[in-house]
Amino acid sequence: MEFKHKSVLLNETIDNLNIKPDGIYVDGTLGGGGHSYEICKRLSPEGRLIGIDQDEDAIRAASERLSEFKDRVTIVRSNYCEIAQVLKDLGIEGVDGIILDLGVSSFQLDTASRGFTYREDAPLDMRMDQRQETTAATIVNTYSEFDLYRIIRDYGEDKFAKNIAKHIVMAREEQPIETTGQLIEIIKAAIPMKVRAVGGHPAKKTFQAIRIELNKELEVLNDSVETMIDLLNDKGRICIITFHSLEDRIVKTKFKNCEDTCTCPPSFPVCVCGNKPKGKVITRKPIIPTEEEIVANKRSKSSKLRVFERIR
């Protein structure tokens, strides 16, 4: 199956990276290599791109897509939260730019057997890293009703979270929930008919919530942004594309905290803590896709790009 994925906010991200031809760049969410390809095109033979992804299929697709750039490119199967170790293993101390384009690729969504989609019946999987043992089925069959409610409410922002959690627990008392099809039927039964007729797919929000929880998407992001900023050389930039309001909030807050590092009480006339800002926020407001991009690629609709520049 061909790896199909339209890169989101592509020109905006590449422009904001301020690429130096002989610089070192990291793509922490390589996917099909769409953003990386544009970075590589701008590198000289001295430049380097390190591409990280935890998904075996993405590694395979990106390796092929970027093969023309030969040893300018190094691809590592890992979680981007391991970036410091990945760079250390490669003998790299600092980099000139990092990009993260979060969430799942269209390829992951469209490959029914990966269990991300509510459009076809498949085992409840949703692992981005197929080496991991727990799957979406583990969450659905073992989490308490309250925890299911909490994740569907917070990560799915579904108004019917409480009822969906209740229906999941009732159904699994009869038999384990093993397929996306079974889960969809349970969700449908938990949402009033009138709402089902007008809203989007009734399972969309719950599926998103389970995926975010399973892949620890928010924890990993929260734990990585500052490390990434610390790895940037002077004037190096980090560009992060998010698709969920909670992700965007994490990025916004982390960037702001790295800019406002002073811990002196507001009443102090001058700073005595001596904490230097790590850099500056380039995007006071996030960059969002144009109308044309949204029409051409529905997946870009909720995307937001934020950029931070390191100052040493």
Ligand X SMILES: C[S@@+](CC[C@H](N)C(=O)[O-])C[C@H]1O[C@@H](n2cnc3c(N)ncnc32)[C@H](O)[C@@H]1O
Residue numbers of the site for ligand X (CB under 6 A)? Answer: 5, 7, 29, 31-35, 52-55, 58, 79-80, 101, 103-105, 128, 220
Output 5 or 48, the one with its CB closest to ligand X. 5
106 with 4: CB under 8 angstroms? yes
Q: Which residues of 290-305 are buried (b: 16+ CB within 10 A; e: fewer)?
A: eeebeeebebbebbbb
77 with 5: CB under 8 angstroms? no
**Shortest distance, position 213 Cβ to ligand X, whole Å:** 13
**Shortest distance, position 287 Cβ to ligand X, whole Å:** 15
**Shortest distance, position 35 Cβ to ligand X, whole Å:** 4
DSSP state of 114: G
Output 34 or 236, the one with its CB closest to ligand X. 34
Distance CA 50, CA 37 (A): 12
**Shortest distance, position 102 Cβ to ligand X, whole Å:** 6
**Shortest distance, position 58 Cβ to ligand X, whole Å:** 4
Distance CA 55, CA 256 (A): 31
Output 52 or 169, the one with its CB closest to ligand X. 52
Beta strands across the sheet bearing 48-53: 73-77, 48-53, 24-27, 95-101, 232-242, 304-310, 279-281
**Shortest distance, position 87 Cβ to ligand X, whole Å:** 14
Output 187 or 212, the one with its CB closest to ligand X. 212
State the helix-helix crossing angle for 161-174 and 180-190, rounded to 10 degrees.
Answer: 130
Output 31 or 156, the one with its CB closest to ligand X. 31
Output 35 or 278, the one with its CB closest to ligand X. 35
Contacts for 227 with CB less than 8 Å, ≥ 6 apart: 81, 83, 84
